[in-house]
Amino acid sequence: MRRYSVDPPAALFEALRSCHAGIKRILSSPFGTKVAGVGTVYVELADGRWLSIGADQEDLEPRFEVFPITAALSDPSTSATLESTVSMTAPVSYELLDTEDWLDPSVECEGALGANPIAQCQGKPGAAPVTASAACRYAGGVRFRSAGGVELVVATLPFPYSLYCSAIPQGATFDGALYGSRAEA
């Protein structure tokens, strides 16, 4: 099995640390009419700045790509029409949520389009079976916790670039069993 690992860039940790002083509200937009989840999530910080959280793309080999979580300070898009008032008081901590995707030729792909389709599966890091031809561990989400115990989870979903946001789920669900925690850096 070919093994890959996508390490989070230092800029991700720096951007996520900006939430330490607190979070006031969240904006996003529906991902699409037939796809659950939301697009980029915009978090308004206690100091009035905005943090955008989205998905990046890493092409590992033909037919194998993963979508790690990404974050940067930037103003919200004008298309962000969904809003949630979330009060997260300082100090706000975070932890990255690691996951693993793998290609498994032994999984049936009945009804899939294209020539010689191969299933891409997801699970907790280290869960790839021996039948997998390639696997990749990456940070697929982030969990914020306030001093008062309020939590906010943003994680990538199986559909490319779609996100789960616990404050604005838009029909998506979060399966914590697919993730392992990585301590704040």
The string of pLDDT tens digits covering residues 33-60 is 688 999 999 999 999 999 999 999 999 9
Q: Residue 42 corresponds to which tokens in the numbers above? A: 């915009």
Confidence at 163, pLDDT banded by 50, 70, 90: very high
What span, in angstroms and rounded, lies between the C-alpha atoms of 123 and 156? 13
Which whole-number Å values give the CA distances from 143 to 43, 99, 153, 165, in the listed order?
13, 13, 4, 10
Report the range of poorest mean pLDDT among 9-23, 73-87, 122-136: 73-87
Higher local confidence (pLDDT), 159 or 111:
159
Enumerate residues 6+ apart whose C-beta is below 8 A from 116: none
What span, in angstroms and rounded, lies between the C-alpha atoms of 2 and 59? 14
Model pLDDT, residue 181? 87
CA 92 to chain CA centroid, nearest Å: 18
Model pLDDT, residue 109? 76
Contact present, 125 and 95 (Cβ < 8 Å): no
Model pLDDT, residue 184? 55
Give burial (CB, 10 Å; 0-12/13-18/19+) of 136.
buried
* Predicted TM-score (pTM) of this structure: 0.93
The string of pLDDT tens digits covering residues 99-153 is 999 999 998 877 767 677 788 999 999 999 999 999 999 999 999 999 999 999 9
Peptide bond into 125 cis (omega under 30): no
The string of pLDDT tens digits covering residues 93-103 is 999 999 999 99
Q: Residue 78 corresponds to which tokens in the numbers above? A: 């004008």
What span, in angstroms and rounded, lies between the C-alpha atoms of 60 and 4? 8
User: Can you spell out the DSSP letters for 55-74?
Assistant: E--EEEETTEEE--EEEEE-
Compute the average pLDDT of residues 12-32: 93
Q: Residue 185: pLDDT above 50?
A: no
